[in-house]
Chain A
């Protein structure tokens, strides 16, 4: 499969702790995108990282990409209850405009 696979499937932490989610894939990529989904609602884009980039930041979010290991990680620092959601990685490939997602990581942040 060429889709992203998120790990872990579920993660439960206390408010203030950091949360790390991982995404692995099997093909060469053009970019990798992280999205958040609150229960049953549309996905919201968080960060896009291109294949020639190794790290990107946005507020409390930090994304890394290791193309040699075909993996990416999303770190949420100082988590809040409002960060409770499912997180998905989407794989964008070269010369192809289909996008593949995994099953997501369900993050629960306890107040």
Chain B
């Protein structure tokens, strides 16, 4: 089954404790992206990647890191999480950039206390 998977689905952590949210797709897509969703603000793009070792900032990259060492994986790293990063996070992928439909993962609900 073609899908985007994220882990963990739920995470509660404390300020400053480094964490990684994994994202994997099995569709051989070139493009992968991370979004955060907050009430009243819709989805905001954090980072995206057009290919292995190629990443670019989205709308709200501050406080986040990403890497793309393999085509199928695109982890999101919060090196020093803060409470304002409490949010619902989505990973997505597409065949090639934003000219094609994006497939979204199920989401990761992160709470930073």
Contacts and interface: CB of A to CB of B under 8 A. Distances in A.
Interface of A: 3, 30-31, 33, 35, 40-45, 48, 88, 90, 92-93, 96-104
Given A42-B106, A45-B103, A99 B88 contact: no
A104 B39 CA distance: 10
A100 B59 contact: yes
Given A98-B59, A100-B45, A103-B41, A30 B107 contact: no
Nearest to A97: B97
Contacts of B58: 98
B31 to A, nearest CB: 7
Interface in B1-57: 4, 31, 33, 35, 40-45, 48, 50, 56
Given A41-B107, A42-B104, A98 B90 contact: no
B79 interface: no
Majority DSSP secondary structure for residues of B touching A: strand
Max count, chain A CB within 10 A of own CB: residue among B48, B58, B102: B102
B48 to A, nearest CB: 6
Contacts of B99: 30-31, 92
B60 to A, nearest CB: 11
Contacts of B100: 48
A44 B48 contact: no
Nearest to A2: B59
A103 B42 contact: yes
Contacts of A102: 42
Contacts of A44: 104
